[in-house]
């Protein structure tokens, strides 16, 4: 599934995508098309539940959209459209997407990070939307992401100055999911990603749909949550899992160690699934 600048490694339900494109991981039209191709391929593979984007560049996650794309020529407009579509495609990926930002993410590079479901930043990360210096606004939903994550006053400071925000600040301000020191990234990913690989795709879809709706329309989301809860409660799979949970000590003080309890259930259930297949 590799392309010139993207190395994709799929292991079980997890796809690792390594970006390595020139001096600064610049979002050239060619690189954008490669990313779109890989996203389309990953969407087709139903085994994949998690996609992790990393940069192989020492300094940059991604510098920004190629400035040569941003102009008034026809090719520029085409490139801009491809970039805008890339952001939308990333937001709409089927899997749960992670951006591991261990370097500089600015402009379109930062907008790609914000289009992922989860963003972890290290001590080497900075995040910025410096477009204002070039007489343009962000073009990949950067103003919208800043407004929703930072609130009005911090979004204005961030977008009008265009300056870098480090990861500890970005975590404090709710701009990224979490600040994680680079030497703790792999361990954190292992802990967070492992339970996600056991999820059914439709359960991932369900949570994404509910969260997105809740932000837009609280009342509608409450209604949809109730409907989904009632439907799912009636399924055989739910009853089977509840039965197993109860067998392993759910609803007793064994839940103080809920991780062990769930691990036991998962062990039995996944064995059961492999036996019945």
Distance (Å, rounded) from C-alpha 27 to C-alpha 223? Answer: 41
Min separation Cβ 39 and its own copies, Å: 18
- Which CB, 15 or 142, lies closer to its own copies? 142
* Identity of the residue, 54 or 138, whose beta carbon is nearer to its own copies in the bound complex: 138
C-alpha 97/C-alpha 258 separation (Å) is 26
User: What is the C-alpha to C-alpha distance for residues 104 and 121, in angstroms, rounded to an integer?
Assistant: 10
CB of residue 119 vs its own copies: minimum separation in angstroms?
6
Q: Where are the alpha helices (DSSP H) in 92-166?
A: 108-115, 142-161
Q: Are 55 and 19 in contact (CB under 8 A)?
A: yes
Indicate the residue among 3 and 143 with the shorter CB distance to its own copies: 143
User: How far apart (Å, rounded) are the C-alpha atoms in residues 49 and 200?
Assistant: 8
Q: How far is the CB of 11 from its own copies (least distance, A)?
A: 19
CB 116 within 8 A of CB 110: no
Minimum CB distance to its own copies, residue 19 (Å):
16
Nearer to its own copies, 39 or 83 (CB): 83
The nearer residue to its own copies, 34 or 117, going by C-beta atoms, is 117
Helix (H) / strand (E) element for 81: namely helix 74-91
Residue 60 beta carbon to its own copies: minimum distance, rounded to whole angstroms: 8
Nearest approach, Cβ of residue 148 and its own copies (Å): 6
Structure tokens given for 256: 């103080």
Q: How far apart are CA 109 and CA 22, in angstroms?
A: 14
Taking the least distance from each CB to its own copies, the nearer of 18 and 76 is 76
Give the tokens for residue 38: 């890989």
- Which stretches does DSSP call E strand in 46-203? 50-55, 60-62, 96-101, 104-106, 118-121, 126-128, 165-166, 178-179
Residue 47 CB, nearest approach to its own copies (Å):
17
Would you mind telling me the total number of residues written for the chain in this entry? 277
Gyration radius of the chain over CA positions: 21
Considering beta carbons, is residue 56 or 207 the nearer one to its own copies?
Answer: 207
């Amino acid at each position: 599934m590799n392309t010139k600048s993207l190395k994709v490694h799929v292991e079980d339900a997890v796809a690792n995508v390594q970006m390595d494109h020139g001096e600064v991981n610049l979002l050239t039209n060619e690189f954008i098309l490669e990313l779109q191709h890989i996203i389309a391929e990953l969407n087709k593979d139903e085994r994949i539940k998690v996609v992790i984007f990393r940069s192989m560049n020492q300094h940059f996650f991604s510098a920004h959209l190629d400035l040569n794309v941003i102009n008034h020529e026809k090719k520029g407009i085409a490139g801009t459209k491809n970039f805008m579509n890339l952001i939308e495609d990333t937001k709409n990926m089927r899997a749960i997407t992670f951006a591991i930002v261990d370097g500089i993410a600015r402009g379109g590079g930062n907008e790609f990070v914000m289009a992922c479901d989860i963003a972890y930043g290290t001590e080497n990360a900075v995040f910025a939307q410096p477009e204002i210096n070039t007489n343009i606004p962000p073009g990949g939903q950067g103003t919208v992401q800043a407004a929703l994550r930072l609130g009005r006053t911090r979004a204005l400071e961030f977008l009008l100055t265009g300056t870098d925000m480090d990861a500890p600040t970005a975590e404090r301000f709710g701009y990224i999911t979490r600040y994680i020191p680079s030497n703790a990234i792999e361990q954190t990913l292992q802990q967070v990603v492992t339970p996600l690989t056991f999820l059914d795709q439709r359960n991932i879809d369900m949570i994404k749909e509910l969260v997105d709706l809740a932000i837009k329309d609280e009342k509608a989301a409450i209604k949809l949550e109730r409907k989904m809860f009632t439907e799912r409660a009636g399924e055989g799979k739910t009853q089977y899992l509840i039965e197993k949970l109860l067998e392993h000590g759910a609803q007793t003080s064994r839940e103080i160690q809920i991780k062990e309890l769930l691990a036991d259930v998962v062990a039995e259930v996944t064995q059961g699934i492999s036996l019945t297949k």
